[in-house]
Homo-oligomer: A and B are copies of this chain.
């Protein structure tokens, strides 16, 4: 397969798809809408997962595991939630195959093995979890429950794209139970902060924290908080959500607790999740026409060393020198790969690791060793320089930190440049068509207007930013009075 990518200018969508496939992050599978996460992509996911898991545990959460299946009667118990997901459910109806009598060597579904009650493959686990919590919660002493689950979920989407929207995806879902509304709201906000911190600090992607309009809320939530990120094509991407569920699920599953005064009340709930979709955000926020650009903190490979040699003798010398550098880098906890594979030339390798977005490349030849230097190349800026071997590991360590910071700064500048306040409908339409990005505009607060704007421009209200400035103005579409601006954008 050619490693050449479609450029962003030619076809942004094709560029994205090329990049995911050719960099070895993921592959299509034989199952409609399901992807294979390849080792390089999975190593990235592991780094993201491990850091998030650490942050969840630091905020008092523990992991558990609940069934993949939700019996239909439980699934439909919280009606809004059920309604929201009903149209995209994979449903298990049978539990056995048998030999097909009309088709030698083939199997068929055994009609005698029909389930009495159909099982839904979890699109999200509130139903199965709250049905379980019912058995765990009697008293205020049993609260709070602060549980997270790493799992696969299935949503039968009609139009899928690698990482961004797949029928099966990997995610984590936190499901917490609390004695008071205030505690639950605090938890919802705490986890939004954890997500924002993770995406900004580790993925180097700035986000806007906000709340969704009622229209865009999670099915079954009282309030949905979100973080929204801006991609290079000017479209927004919802990077994570944290839901205050009120007592909706407690009521649907009859989960009550007795407080210190022995009074019974329904339990308060939150849920929150991020998924492999974040990898899509990472790709589209940072990469260029030559390939991925990985933020050092989560890059599967932070430094690659490529030897440049002619003949076996120089190879031995370079291998030995390289091993010394590797040891020094590893001692600082740096993830380093030495690629001395004989099957490909240095130039091919340079292009390959550029495609894979490895933050720092070190090339090492005999002449470099004579001069006590290496050739150091940064993936993000493509700068190349000769660097002394003295103190190399410490230099590289600092360079990785600098790259992380500069990638973030660059993304912040892009987001700022692509956030525009706007007060006229014509300009609003023009901005969305020509410049893209977030458009900050007044809205009259009705679902009807929100829907009309979406129909006419394909832009949705991404969020009402937290701590939003309150100012009076006129709705961008209807001219009706408004008390604040909200963020519109076309979105993934």
The interface of chain A, by Cβ under 8 A from chain B, is: 27, 29-31, 34-39, 41-43, 45-46, 62-72, 74-76, 79, 82, 86-99, 105-107, 109, 118-121, 128, 131-132, 135-136, 141, 147, 151-152, 154, 156, 168, 170, 343
Known: A86-B97, A87-B96. 13 other contacts (CB 8 A): A29-B66, A29-B67, A30-B74, A30-B128, A35-B67, A36-B66, A43-B62, A68-B168, A89-B96, A92-B92, A93-B93, A93-B94, A109-B118
A38's contact among B64, B71, B99, by CB below 8 Å, is which? B64
Query: Can you report 21 residue pairs joining A to B where beta carbons are below 8 Å apart?
Result: A27-B135, A27-B136, A30-B128, A30-B131, A31-B69, A31-B70, A34-B67, A34-B69, A36-B66, A37-B64, A38-B64, A39-B63, A39-B64, A68-B121, A68-B154, A75-B107, A79-B105, A82-B107, A89-B96, A91-B96, A97-B120
Whole-angstrom distance between the alpha carbons of A95 and B152 in the complex?
Answer: 17
Whole-angstrom distance between the alpha carbons of A31 and B116 in the complex?
Answer: 12
Q: Is the CB of B105 within 8 A of A76?
A: yes
Chain B min CB distance to A445 (Å): 30
Residues of chain B within 8 A (CB-CB) of A90 are: 69, 92, 94-95, 119
Chain B min CB distance to A407 (Å): 26
Q: Is the CB of A170 within 8 A of B65?
A: yes
Residues of chain B within 8 A (CB-CB) of A69 are: 31, 34, 90, 168
The 5 A-B residue pairs with the shortest CB-CB distance in the complex, in nearest-first order: A34-B67, A39-B62, A37-B65, A86-B97, A95-B156
Whole-angstrom distance between the alpha carbons of A105 and B43 in the complex?
Answer: 44
Whole-angstrom distance between the alpha carbons of A147 and B41 in the complex?
Answer: 13
Whole-angstrom distance between the alpha carbons of A39 and B62 in the complex?
Answer: 6
Known: A79-B105, A119-B31. A97 touches B92 (CB 8 A): no
Known: A72-B107, A93-B94, A154-B68. A43 touches B31 (CB 8 A): no
Whole-angstrom distance between the alpha carbons of A411 and B43 in the complex?
Answer: 37
Q: Which of A69, A99, A120, A343 has the most B CB atoms < 10 Å from its CB?
A: A69
Residue of B nearest to A87 (CB): B96
Whole-angstrom distance between the alpha carbons of A106 and B93 in the complex?
Answer: 17
Residues of chain B within 8 A (CB-CB) of A70 are: 31
Whole-angstrom distance between the alpha carbons of A152 and B122 in the complex?
Answer: 13
Whole-angstrom distance between the alpha carbons of A431 and B88 in the complex?
Answer: 57
Known: A72-B107, A119-B31, A170-B65. A86 touches B96 (CB 8 A): yes
Chain B min CB distance to A339 (Å): 14
Residues of chain B within 8 A (CB-CB) of A30 are: 71, 74, 128, 131-132
Residue of B nearest to A94 (CB): B91
Residues of chain B within 8 A (CB-CB) of A109 are: 91, 93, 118
Residue of B nearest to A91 (CB): B94
Chain B min CB distance to A468 (Å): 37
Q: Is the CB of A95 within 8 A of B105?
A: no
Known: A91-B109, A95-B89, A128-B31. A152 touches B68 (CB 8 A): yes
Chain B min CB distance to A168 (Å): 5
Chain B min CB distance to A280 (Å): 15
Q: Which of A65, A82, A90, A154 has the most B CB atoms < 10 Å from its CB?
A: A65
Residue of B nearest to A85 (CB): B97
Residues of chain B within 8 A (CB-CB) of A131 are: 30
Residues of chain B within 8 A (CB-CB) of A88 are: 95-96
Residues of chain B within 8 A (CB-CB) of A79 are: 105
Known: A76-B106, A92-B90, A156-B96. A31 touches B65 (CB 8 A): no
A68's contact among B27, B34, B91, B135, by CB below 8 Å, is which? B34
Residue of B nearest to A141 (CB): B343
Q: Is the CB of B63 within 8 A of A46?
A: yes
Residues of chain B within 8 A (CB-CB) of A152 are: 68, 151-152
Residues of chain B within 8 A (CB-CB) of A105 are: 76, 79
Whole-angstrom distance between the alpha carbons of A343 and B139 in the complex?
Answer: 12
Residues of chain B within 8 A (CB-CB) of A87 are: 96-98
Whole-angstrom distance between the alpha carbons of A94 and B88 in the complex?
Answer: 10
Chain B min CB distance to A462 (Å): 28
Chain B min CB distance to A55 (Å): 16
Chain B min CB distance to A176 (Å): 13
Chain B min CB distance to A322 (Å): 20
Whole-angstrom distance between the alpha carbons of A92 and B65 in the complex?
Answer: 22
Q: Is the CB of B107 within 8 A of A76?
A: yes
